[in-house]
Amino acid sequence: MQFSNIIGQQAAKQHLLDSIHRGRLPHALMLRGPSGVGALQLAHAIAQYVNCQHPTDEDSCGQCASCRKISQAIHPDIHYVLPIISKTTSGKAILTDAYLEDFRKLYSAEPYFSFEQWQHALDGDNKQLMISVHEIRELKRKIFLKTFEAEYKIVILWQAELIRTGAANAFLKLLEEPPDKTLILLTCEDPGKLLITINSRCQQVALERIPKALLEAYLVEKKAVEVAKAKEIATISEGSLSHALTYMQESHHELNELYSSWLRMVYTGNYSKIQQIIEQIYKENKEFQKLFLAFAVKKLRDSLLFQLGVPEIALVTEAEKAFQQNFSKLIDADKVEQMVDLLDESRRFIAGNAHAQMAFTALSLRLHSILRS
């Protein structure tokens, strides 16, 4: 992964390059930002640049042995700490190394893969992924070994907010006194979930949401998405490339059409029509069902912006405006809050293997009650 492969994030990239050129790159960096904006990818670009055998002022060469190995996530001096399903075999904890091949497959297929895809790859849709103290102890053992071939040993700790308290405490010592020529790169969506002491020991680099125009261009040029569909996907993705790619994969379901039809029937209380739409959703896999509910939350929040008289800041396409304008007359802030809570609750139920048809039926009836109250 080269800096040039990172979509957007120009300010963060320039800041990091300046720090490297001045010899001021700290040993612990936290790349923080919303899901899907490029934190994991930027961590790889940093690792590749500092270990590149023929770097330019702006980027790694992408061709040397070190660059090729890092781009494939197979470099022996790049150590990964990933959130995984905590389990043991014959009394021994299963650690990140056991899942690296799954990680490489996902990263190779699409560097901007989502956390939900990682969960699915581990058969962990209804399980809690975490970073355990056993993981950190193994990392401390490995990180003090001599490097195989790189100038810098690199630790990439993905989704740092999922580190358990015991693991976080064990990690502090390594953050305070890492071995020479060691670079620790953490990615995090919500630093507020981490110990204050971990936050204070890392220099934080804030990542921004990817501009809509860049998302749209990427979808058209790299994924061969039609311009109109790319514009729609970029609009609803909230600056997240991983969200955009997920919507792209499910775009044939016409999420917005399904959502608006469902909500119309929920409002009117047409039970037979509601069941027909639920049947369409129920036939799809769990990932689509969760995606539909997440999409509904986004659309409801857009409806509230129309109701508040600020439609210009809503993330809607031209095709959606008429529906949102009409639907906004039926809601207020209190109703939207109640509805969003129910949608989030239903998404948790689906993730926990609740019966989807029953969950969507109960949700529809409860939403009808709120809308007609």
What is the per-residue pLDDT across 77-117, written as a single tens digit (0 to 9) for each?
A: 999 999 999 888 887 889 999 999 999 999 999 999 999 88
Of the candidates 61, 60, 31, which has an alpha carbon nearest to the alpha carbon of residue 156?
Answer: 31
Compute φ and ψ for 88, nearest 5 degrees: -130, 155
Percent of all residues in the chain with a pLDDT value above 90, rounded to a whole number? 68
What is the CATH class of 3-206? alpha beta
Asked whether residue 247 carries a pLDDT value surpassing 50, the answer given is: yes
Query: What pLDDT is attached to residue 252?
Result: 45
Of the candidates 293, 297, 291, which has an alpha carbon nearest to the alpha carbon of residue 250?
Answer: 291
What is the CATH T-level fold of the domain 250-371, as seen in this structure? Zinc Finger, Delta Prime; domain 3 (1.20.272)
Residues 6+ apart with CB under 8 A from 331: 300, 303, 304, 307, 339, 371
Q: Which sequence spans correspond to the domains of the chain?
A: 3-206, 250-371
What is the per-residue pLDDT across 126-144, written as a single tens digit (0 to 9) for each?
A: 678 999 999 999 999 999 9
Q: Report the run of H or E that residue 323 belongs to, with start and end.
A: helix 318-327
The b/e string for 332-369 (b: 16+ C-beta within 10 A; e otherwise) is eeebbebbbebbeebbebbbeeeebeebbbbbbebbbe
Helix/strand/coil for 154: strand
Where does the pLDDT of residue 251 fall: very low under 50, low under 70, confident under 90, or very high at 90 and above? low
What is the per-residue pLDDT across 2-20, written as a single tens digit (0 to 9) for each?
A: 999 999 999 999 999 999 9
